[in-house]
Each structure stands twice: as C-alpha cells, then as structure tokens.
Chain A
Amino acid sequence: MEQQKVDMFLMSYGKYFEGHQLMMLRDKLTNLDDSKFIQLQAANLKDPTTLLIVSIIGGHFGIDRFLLGEVGLGIAKLLTCGGLGIWTMVDWFLIMSRTRETNMQRVQSVLY
C-alpha cells in the first residue's frame, strides 16, 4: 500500500490501537495489497474514548459490550444490572484497552 495512505490511516486511527502495536501495524500495512484498503476502512473500528463515555453512561445496561460486538456479555450485564454495579465499575477501567484489542483483531482479520 502507498506510504501516504498508510500514514493517513495511522493518523486517523492511531489512537484506536495500543502504542506498541503501531510500528508492527505500519509495517504490515505497507506490505498490504492496495485492493484491501477499502476492506480495512470498512473494518468498523471503535473509538476507545467513545466507548468509555458509553460505559459511564450506559454501562448498567451493557450497552458498551453490545457496541463492542460482545452480545453475550452485554445480555449478561443487562440482566444483572451491570453485575449489581460492580461489573460496570470494573469496565470503566477495562473498556478502553478491550476496545483497542478488538480493533486490532478486526484489522488482523483483514490483514491475514
């Protein structure tokens, strides 16, 4: 893929991944075929900060987990009222890194 496109992608989505993953991602994207760029843009990446805000506001109903695509955990969280508030609170600290991990998995599914 063209260097310009790779840089544009990393500028737009850099904060969606863990810092230590960026170098590896840059190398992989540089070697990626141009035809996969559209697929990459359609990968439905989530903003960790948005997920944190959703977790604070709607964490008791499991909305953050639904947005991440973890429907089972979302339903469990919804039915238990956010694990009686405990799970909700734990998720305030976990959700950002979980979102970055999910984003990386989605990009990897395009890369490989």
Chain B
Amino acid sequence: MVEKNNFPYVPNEYESEKASNSYLLSLIAIMTGFPIPLFNLIAAVIFYFGNKRGTYFVRWHCMQVLIAQAITMIVNSIAVYWAVGVLVWNFTLTNNFISFILTVAIFNIIEFIATIYSAIQTRKGKHISWLIFGPLTDLLVKE
C-alpha cells in the first residue's frame, strides 16, 4: 500500500512536522467523526487550505491525505447508505451487501494503518507515497 520514494529535496524539520500533522489530523478526524464520513474530508480540506502557501513537501502530503479522505468518504457514504437501507428501510440483506461491507472495513483498516505509518515516517523526513493516491498527488501538486 505504501512505498518510500525519493523526493526532489531533503525536507527541513519544520516541513516534516507540518506534513506529519496532516496524517495525525486525519487520524483524529477518523476517531471523532467516524459515523459521519464527510467530517474527515472537511477537516482535510481546511488543513490543505491552511497550508496552501506551504512548501512543496507539505502541500504534497496534505494533498495525498485530501485525496485519500475524498475516496474514503465516497466508499464509506455508500456503505452507510446501504447499511441504513438494510437496517431501517427493509432493503434485502444480500451476499453483495455483506461482501461490500467487508471490503469497506478492510479498506478502512488498511488506510488507518497506512496513515499511522506515514505519520511516523514523514515526521522523520521520509517521503511516503501511497499506492494509487501517490501518483495522483504527483499530477495535482506542482513544485
């Protein structure tokens, strides 16, 4: 899920701290706003705009968190809608629903672990690029 890549320059101490904070914020947002998927995304957006004038390293990691949260929000929203449908609106409980919920749970657990790992490594000044989100971030963030 994650890989260590070379970055164009060696980030300073304060850059590593800010980049690491973006992952920490995402962790806290997951814990406090778990039932509401939109909560995490809003927190990531505010943090990105707070660091919009920051250095390339900081912006890159804020954007990676933002993209990850956006995709997680979409997946989680579908899961919440479907689960509410089954529990409240009497949708049929199908194998598709169970497999989807399991997939979403595994996706969230992997994302959670990757976030913790990235927060630790980024604090040490290492550049961590996630599997799909990393290349996407490369395209969106300009040096």
Interface set of A (CB-CB < 8 Å, partner B):
18-20, 83, 85-87, 89-90, 93-94, 97-98
Contacts and interface: CB of A to CB of B under 8 A. Distances in A.
Of A83, A90, A97, A98, which is in contact with the most chain B CB atoms at under 10 Å from its CB? A90
B22 to A, nearest CB: 8
A9 to B, nearest CB: 20
Contacts of B28: 89
B24 A89 contact: no
Nearest to B28: A89
Interface residues of B, dominant DSSP: helix
B39 A86 contact: yes
B14 interface: yes
B66 interface: no
Given A20-B12, A83-B46, A90 B18 contact: no
Contact of B43 (A18, A19, A20, A86): A86
Interface residues of B, number: 19
Interface of B: 12-14, 18, 21-22, 24-25, 28-29, 32-33, 39, 42-43, 46-47, 50-51
29 contacts: A18-B14, A19-B12, A19-B14, A20-B12, A20-B13, A20-B14, A83-B42, A85-B32, A86-B29, A86-B33, A86-B39, A86-B43, A86-B46, A87-B46, A89-B25, A89-B28, A89-B29, A89-B43, A90-B25, A90-B43, A90-B47, A90-B50, A93-B21, A93-B22, A93-B24, A93-B47, A94-B47, A94-B50, A98-B50
